[in-house]
Structure 1
Amino acid sequence: MKIKWLGHSCFLLTSHNGVKVLTDPFDSSVGYDVPRVIADIVSTSHDHFDHNYIQAVQGDFFHANETGHFSHKGIEITGISVFHDDKHGTQRGKNIIYKFVVDGIHICHCGDLGHGLTLEQVNEIGHVDILLIPVGGFYTIGPDQAIEVAKMLQPSVIIPMHFKTKAIQFPIEGVENFLEKMGGERFGKQEVEFDKASVGLTPGVLVLEYV
């Protein structure tokens, strides 16, 4: 399975047999190049412009934008209801955490998670091999809460997202603070490949580079 970071919270997951999952596509106002790709599955964690621009996606795709359990082209999908803020959604609304099972690897995409997780939510999410988690703060959890969430979910690999880069002007932090507190390394590439064996051998935190 391959994971490619297209900027912000948008990743392209590609299974060994070519099934493609795109998470949280964004529009041109974000600053990164709009991810105009062909996908079989597109997930949108919530209806904000930097997470729901499905108009850019090509192909006949299954749109995951609800909670519950789904399956499409051999990919298992679970959507768990959480909030975009720490005031039970009263400030920024709801958010959906999606967990995908691709090639036997459990990938959890937190969307714009705005609070720590309850034990019930952790149980709903279940086993996680790879955690895609926001670390930039302001609109989402920041480095400290991201670390707490990671400790609760205990993934083998953590890939930070939704942080400040030269491409965007959002008032959020870069990834440096999270890396300093959590450890890890910059991968130096936009895409990384895993199988069940290599997930456990990868350093805990892996920062992909936007190209």
Structure 2
Amino acid sequence: MMRFVTVCLLVLPCLASVAWTAPALAQADRCPKLVAKNPFLQSLETRALPAAYLQPRQVGLTYIGHSTFLIETTGGVTVATDYNDYVRPDIVPRVATMNRAHMTHYSLHPDPGIEHVLKGWRDDRDPVRYDMEVGDLWIGNLQTNIRDWEGGTIRNGNSIFIFRAADLCIAHLGHLHHLLTKQDLGALGRIDIVLAPVDGSYTLDVDGMVEVLKALESPVVIPMHYFNQGTLNRFLERFSSSQYEIRREEFPTLVFSRETLPIKPTVIVLPGR
């Protein structure tokens, strides 16, 4: 029997991040500020869902592992985030996004069946900008800087990728190494679901990540890039006394819609495959 999880929450403003001076999205392009109707999460049995099992105005999200998620739209568009040669979904996605930090976040040999391979950096360190539609999915990015192994700075080495489908905004923070500025938050706009690295060392430290997430005010936070349960638990402890609810799911796939976002901000822990 297939199982899936439907989720809910208060929809707050899409906030942002910039290493390049890009204008904020036009107001007409941003997700409208709405309040979800349903005050609680509903759970149903499921495994990873092909797009054919999604209902209209839904988005499927499956945690593959490390920093890789599979995003699926009702129009059949599939995206693998931080696509690499070590952790991959079982299918060849239509879109693959990558980040520069190291080789668990990018691939030198992506599957030739991928239609769009989106690198979150340029080798000359100039900004790379995406503003594209693939079927019923819009994809944009906001660049941030990363540290190199000697402690120096690689400008524009990371992209926060933003995905919009079914009136939902999903942000993948990638290998975020620093706090977001007010300009960053303003450029992102409202983010409904944020996929956040919480290892606390290779990326931003735990206190810094908590600060970023609270500034984003996203209804749903999904941790990634945490290596072991001890690291994950340290991050969750920082939220235990805050306004966030903590939920652990048995299965790696969630189905989101605007109507079923949680009313109370929620950290949802998914098992990686």
Q: TM-score, normalised by structure 2?
A: 0.67
In the alignment, what sits opposite 1:20? 78
The residue number in structure 2 matching 1:210 is 272
Does structure 2 conserve the Cα–Cα contact (< 8 Å) formed by 1:26 and 1:35? no
Q: SS where residue 99 of structure 1 aligns?
A: strand
The answer to whether the 8 A contact 2:218-2:265 is kept is no
How many angstroms apart in 2 are the aligned matches of 1:12 and 1:54? 19
- Aligned counterpart, 1:164: 227
Q: 1:102-181 alignment to 2 at 5 Å?
A: 102-165=165-228, 174-181=231-238
Q: Which residue of 1 aligns with 2:260?
A: 198
Q: Call closer, same or farther: CA 1:48–1:54 in 2, change over 3 Å.
A: same
What is the aligned-residue identity percentage? 28
Gaps of 5+ in 1: 167-172
CA RMSD of aligned residues (A): 2.2
Following the alignment from structure 1 to structure 2, what is the Cα–Cα distance between the partners of residues 57 and 36?
Answer: 12
Q: CA deviation at 1:92?
A: 5.3
Task: Give the deviation of 1:54 after TM superposition.
Answer: 6.4
Structure 1 residue identity aligned to 2:175: D
Q: What is the rounded CA distance, in whole Å, between the counterparts of 2:147 and 2:239 in structure 1?
A: 23
Give 1:176's aligned amino acid.
N
Distance in 1 of aligned mates of 2:137 and 2:268 = 24
Q: TM-score, normalised by structure 1?
A: 0.85
Choose between structure 1 and 2 for higher RCO, CA contacts under 8 A separated by at least 6 residues.
2
What is the Cα deviation at residue 37 of structure 1? 2.2
* In 1, Cα distance between equivalents of 2:228 and 2:196: 16
Q: Is the 8 A contact 2:78 2:94 kept in 1?
A: yes
CA contact (8 A) 2:92 2:113 kept: yes
Which ranges of structure 2 fall in alignment gaps of 5 or more residues? 1-58, 120-127, 241-245
1:22-101 map, 5 Å = 22-28=80-86, 33-46=87-100, 48-53=102-107, 55-57=109-111, 59-65=113-119, 66-85=128-147, 90-91=152-153, 94-101=157-164
